[in-house]
Structure 1
Amino acid sequence: MKRIAVDLHYLPTLEWFSAIIDAEEILLFPKNQYQRQSYFNRTRILLANKVETLSIPIQGRRPRLPLDQIKIDYSQKWPSIHLRGIQSAYGKAPFFEFFFPYFLPVFESQTESLWEFNTRLLTICLKLLRWPVKVSVVEDSAHIPDFLDQRRLIVPSRPFWERNFYQPNAYPQLFGLDFEPNLSILDLLFCMGPEAGNVLKSSAKKE
C-alpha cells in the first residue's frame, strides 16, 4: 500500500491533489505544530479581475499549538466573506449548482476547530472527485509502516514549479484569457465537474 503523509490544507490546491494522485492512503498528523504562513488556513480562487486569497482568521497571535488545537476566530464574520467570494467567482460555473450545496453546510456550521473544519471539507472534495483513497489521522508515526513524507513541502512562500508534483494542464476557467494554474480545488470542481479527477491525473508530474 502506498502511504503518503501530507499537511492538512484549507480547500487544497491542485498541486496538493496532484502530489497524492497515486496514494492508497494519506496520513494526517493533528499533533504537528501550527506553522504560520501555511495553507492550513488559506486558499486561492479566481475572481473576474484577480486571484483572491481567502484566509481563515484564528484565535491568538502566533500560537505554538498542535494543529488540532487551533481555533477559528468568528468575530470577523469571515464565513460570509468567503461564501460571497466563492459565489462571485464560481456562481456561473457549469457545476457550481451541483457541488456548492455540499460545501455550504460546513461554512454555516460554526465549527470551532480549524482541523475539524478542514477535514470535513477535504472529505467532501475526495467524495466529489470519486477518489477511494483512505484518510488516516495519525497521532504518532513511529508505528506506521513505510510511508512517503511530504509534510511542509507545499507552502505559499515557494512556487509550485520548484517542486516535482504538479504540471499545469489547462482547462476552461470563467475569467481571464490566460490559464491560472494551481488554484483551490474548488476552481477545478466547479469548472470541470466529473472530469476533475482526469484533469488532476494528467497534471501530476511523472517521476
Structure 2
Amino acid sequence: MKRVAVDLHFLPCIEFFVAILDADEILISPQEYYQRQSYLNRAKIRLANKVETLSVPIQGRRPRLPLNKVLIDYRQNWQKIHLRGIQSAYGKAPFFEFYFPYLQPVLEKTHTSLWSLNQEMLTICLKLLQFKGKVTVCENLSEEQVDLDIRGQIMPSRPFTERNYYQAFPYTQLFGLDFEPNLSIIDLLFCMGPEAKKVLLSSIKKL
C-alpha cells in the first residue's frame, strides 16, 4: 500500500495529481505551516491571451501559522473574481457545464480557514478524477511512515522539469497554438472530461 504525504494546495496543478496517481493513501495535516509564494493559496488557469493566477487572499502579511489557523480575507472580492475568471477561461470548454456545478458552491461558500477551502477542493477534484485512493488527515505527518513525501517540492518558483514526477503531455486546450503545461487540474478537467485520467497517466515522467 503506497502512502504519499502532500501539501494541501488550492486547486492543485497537474503535476500534483501525477505525483499521487498511484497512491493508495494521501496524507494531509492541518498542522502543516503556511508557506509564502506557494500553491497553498494560488492556482493557474489559461485565459485567451495569458496565464492567470487565481489567488486566495489571507489575513495577515506573513502568517507563520498552521493551515487550519490561516484565515481567508473575505473583505476582498476574490470569490467573484475567481468565478468570473474561471467562466471566462472555460465557459466554452467541452466539459465546463458538467464540472463547474461541483466547484461553484465551494467557491461561493465562506470557509473558516484556508485548510477548510483546500480540503474541500481536493476532495471534489479527486472525485471528478475518479481517484480510488483515500485521503487521511493526520495530526503530525513527520510521525507517519510514508513511501513518498512531496511536501515543499511543488512550488510556483521551481519548474516541474527539475522534478521526477511530471512530463508535459499535450491535450487540447481552448486558447493559443502552444500547449501550456502544468496548469490547475481544472484546465484538464474542463477540456478533457473523463479522459483526464488518461492524460495524467501519459504525463508520468519516464526516468
TM-score interval, smaller chain: over 0.9
The structural deviation recorded for 1:25 is 0.5
Q: Is 1:21 aligned to residue 59 of structure 2?
A: no
1:23-43 CA distances to partner (integer Å, 9 max, x unpaired)? 111111211111101100000
- CA 1:142–1:61: 2 relative to 1, 3 Å: closer
Q: C-alpha displacement at 1:144, in angstroms? A: 2.7
Deviating beyond 4 angstroms after TM superposition, the runs of 4 or more aligned structure 1 residues are: none
**What corresponds to 1:40 in structure 2?**
40
Q: Quote the offset at 1:142 in angstroms.
A: 5.4
Shift of residue 67, structure 1, vs aligned partner: 1.1
User: Against the structure 1 CA distance between its residues 123 and 61, is the aligned structure 2 distance closer, same or farther, given a 3 Å change threshold?
Assistant: same
Match of 1:75 in 2: 75
Q: 1:206: Cα distance to partner?
A: 3.5
Match of 1:133 in 2: 133
**When the two structures are aligned, how many residues end up with a matched partner?**
207
Q: 1:187 to 1:142 in 2, by over 3 A?
A: closer
User: Structure 1 residue 143: deviation in Å?
Assistant: 4.8
CA deviation after TM superposition for structure 1 residue 146, in Å: 3.8
Q: TM-score, normalised by structure 1?
A: 0.97
Q: Tell me: CA distance 1:142–1:152, structure 2 relative to 1, closer, same or farther (3 Å).
A: closer
Matched, 1:201 2:201: yes
Which residue is equivalent to 1:173?
Answer: 173
The alpha-carbon deviation at position 145 of structure 1 amounts to: 3.1
Is the alpha carbon distance of 1:104 and 1:70 closer, same or farther for their aligned partners in structure 2, counting shifts above 3 Å? same
CA deviation string 1:31-84 (max 9, x = no partner): 111110110000000000000011000001101111111110011110000000
Aligned positions of 1:68-107 closer than 5 A: 68-107=68-107
Q: CA RMSD in A?
A: 1.0
Q: Which runs of 5+ in 2 are unaligned?
A: none
Q: Normalization by structure 2: what TM-score?
A: 0.97
Q: Provide the rounded CA distance (Å) in 2 between the counterparts of 1:109 and 1:74.
A: 11
- The answer to whether the 8 Å contact 2:166/2:203 transfers is yes
The CA distance in 1 between the partners of 2:45 and 2:33, in whole Å, is 26
- Using the aligned pairs only, state the percent identity: 67
In 1, the alpha carbon distance for the partners of 2:5 and 2:110 equals 28
Structure-1 separation of matches of 2:16 and 2:140: 22
Report the secondary structure of 2:9's partner residue.
Answer: coil
Cα distance, 1:55–1:145 mapped onto 2, change above 3 Å: same
| Separation of aligned partners in 1, 2:41 and 2:155 | 12
Displacement of 1:140: 1.7
